[in-house]
Structure 1
Amino acid sequence: MTKNKKTFWENYRFSIMLLSSIVLGSILGGVLKEKASILKPFGDLFINAMFTIVVPLVFVTISSSIANMSNMKRLGNILKSLFLVFFSTGLVASLIIIVLVLLFPPAQGIELNLPPAEAIKPFQTGNQIVAALTVTDFPQLISRSNMLPLIIFSIVFGLCVNMVGEKGKIIANGLEVLASVFLKMINLLMYYAPIGLGAYFGALVGEYGQQLLSSYARAMLIYYPLCIAYLLLAFPAYAYIAAGVRGVKALKYVISPAITAVATQSSIATLPVNLEACENIGVPKD
């Protein structure tokens, strides 16, 4: 029995709703101007909810995936792939933006009145590395301000649960259930996303609209077309390298995380939506 093909609307319904809400919110913000601040609480509700859920979500998803791994060599392969992809794609993006900025300086003709710079403290490599990778107390770990220490803790915790063996199965199964619960919370929260992101954009445009049309216009005309071109050209290339035609087709699930990233300007806020996209694509949990 062959499955019925989904229509364009069924495939992209949520992404179209998100884009439409952002466009409508931006138009409303431009019309209302300073009065658009009344929309801000509705946008903040969505952003704050995302930030609230991201810390426990990161902990349970990472620790549960490692705790339930049957072969630790797989973890090593995943980490190798992660660093390779992160470095190579980051290098390509960096080179492209450096070349473009050299050819078309985005700050040309803009004068900024900046306060005098404070004296720069000497850089202490050892202390900086320790501060980046660890925290001084457990409560500090449960904060989106310390995501890297939280991720490292989650990996180590998952490894220890896995190493305990049969006795750790209860914890591993519990973590897996918790991960499913938090992902379900994300699913529920995304019903509010069109309203939240629309209101958030409306408030932003109302507050900074004049600056966007004057001081930042040149930078926007350079940066956003480049981002769109990179999205349309580089992403399909990466997807094809990863999984061929099936990978390119799966890019439809990347639209929601991309829109959330543009709207919130926060990679942390985008994490929950990325996890949902991975689940839709069929990426294994670990």
Structure 2
Amino acid sequence: MNNWLKNYSGILWLISGVTAGAIAGLVMGKQVVVLKPIGDIFLNLLFIAVVPLVFFAISSAIANLNGTNRIGKLLSVTSLVFLGTILVSATLTIIAVRLFPVHEQLTAPPLTEQVSKKPFGEQMVQLFTTSDFYQLFTRSSMLAMILFSVLIGFAVLRSGEDGVRFARFLNSGNEVFKQLFIILMKMAPVGLGAYFAYQVGYFGPQLFGAYAKSLGLYYSVGAFYFVFGFSAYAFIAGGIKGFKCYWKYNIIPSATAVSTCSSIATIPANLEAAKKIGVAEYIANITIPLGATLHKDGSSISSIVKMAVVFALFGKGFDSPETIISALAITVLVSIVEGGIPNGGYVGELLFISAYGFPPEALPPAIIIGTLVDPLATLLNSTGDTVAAMLVARFTDGKNWMEQASA
């Protein structure tokens, strides 16, 4: 019980702060606007910290990839499996959002003025590039900064010995900004509580219906994907035998994920499950640890749900082809960026809000939804790594990989 409280203490504190904010908003009504500056200060601090945090996290990770070229084929197959399953889960969620719109409860005016819409080509140029170097390090240029971070990481790799000192600088910066983000998130119950109070006072009780509907959609899609999506992947990987083995040995990883609320903490259980299923050790030892940071099907589902809610709150439609395409691309980036960062889900939310040009007011709804779906998201993120390892084994060692393992 003590371990459970420790693992979920952050979520419980955040829910407590949001609950207190909801009560304040209902009691004070429009007068609750006096609390808004507290929330604004917290949001501004987050947006300031997230840009260098993401830069150091990505560039340092790539700069430390020395020696992986000898397993190029395995990494290529693993990357394609990760990308494929993330896109499947995200596409499934987009279909669910179209069938069961989460914005119907929102009949009040949007939180602020509508976000201006630009031509698709211009959006792509502004998303992935900037005209001046200094513009890279603003929250409105997050995707351009991510691309720059990737290039910096590969440049360090190509620099050999001359790049060692710079790689150390990137590693140090990564650790410093991780700790800064941890410090800032200690203020989340107060900051988000104040902002949620303002939202409740502005929207009124109907806001709870919007959140309830989005949570219902997430848990329905997530449960469907957990049962049927993972079953389909296991069947593709190993037929009926693969299906039976996956569910037979997935119990302990599932329990570990729910009890710890951590993909990293589930790695040992996933490795043991993969071994019992018959995944080769050299595949499991690479795919599962990488998956803990890069493969997040649960996060991809929550990313789409959060985008749909934020779009609705700001009076924008989440149905145009360019919006859907960019949402899928951002979902993949969010899945990658979240890994290895404390409270990585919040970083992902900051990323898509910045990419679409939403104001800071868009962050609290996304964080609140992300917090409430975290247990199921962790379950999907973690246990999806084992079935991903099965798929990698299928496409690396051939369709008879399970029989070879038994022999």
What's the TM-score once normalised by structure 1's chain length?
0.72
2:184 aligned with 1:189: yes
Task: Give the deviation of 1:86 after TM superposition.
Answer: 3.0
| Alpha-carbon distance change, 144 to 92 in structure 1, aligned in 2, over 3 angstroms | same
Identical columns (%): 28
Flag structure 2 segments of 5+ consecutive residues without an equivalent.
110-116, 234-245, 264-298, 312-330, 345-377, 383-407
Flag structure 1 segments of 5+ consecutive residues without an equivalent.
113-119
- Distance, in Å, in 2 between the alignment partners of 1:27 and 1:237 is 39
Report matched runs for 1:158-177 at 5 Å: 158-177=153-172
Report matched runs for 1:1-286 at 5 Å: 6-70=2-66, 71-72=68-69, 73=72, 76=76, 79-101=79-101, 107=104, 123=119, 125=121, 127-209=122-204, 212-213=205-206, 222-231=213-222, 234=225, 244=250, 245-246=252-253, 249-251=256-258, 252-253=260-261, 275-277=341-343
- Distance, in Å, in 1 between the alignment partners of 2:95 and 2:75 is 30
Partner of 2:243: none
- Alpha-carbon RMSD: 4.2
**Which deviations, in whole Å up to 9, do the C-alpha atoms of 1:28-58 show, x marking residues without a partner?**
1110111111111111121111111011011
Task: Give the deviation of 1:222 after TM superposition.
Answer: 4.0
Is the partner of 1:275 in helix, strand or coil? coil
- Distance, in Å, in 2 between the alignment partners of 1:18 and 1:59 is 27
Letter in 1 for 2:173: L
Task: Give the deviation of 1:249 after TM superposition.
Answer: 2.8
Letter in 2 for 1:190: M
- Distance, in Å, in 2 between the alignment partners of 1:269 and 1:32 is 36
- Distance, in Å, in 1 between the alignment partners of 2:14 and 2:64 is 35
- Distance, in Å, in 1 between the alignment partners of 2:27 and 2:47 is 29
- The answer to whether the 8 A contact 1:54-1:269 is kept is no
What's the TM-score once normalised by structure 2's chain length?
0.53
The number of equivalent residue pairs is: 258
Letter in 2 for 1:170: R
- Distance, in Å, in 2 between the alignment partners of 1:124 and 1:29 is 38
- Distance, in Å, in 1 between the alignment partners of 2:215 and 2:120 is 36
Task: Give the deviation of 1:156 after TM superposition.
Answer: 0.5
Q: Which structure would you say has the larger RCO, counting Cα contacts within 8 Å and 6 or more residues apart?
A: 1
- Distance, in Å, in 2 between the alignment partners of 1:109 and 1:277 is 28
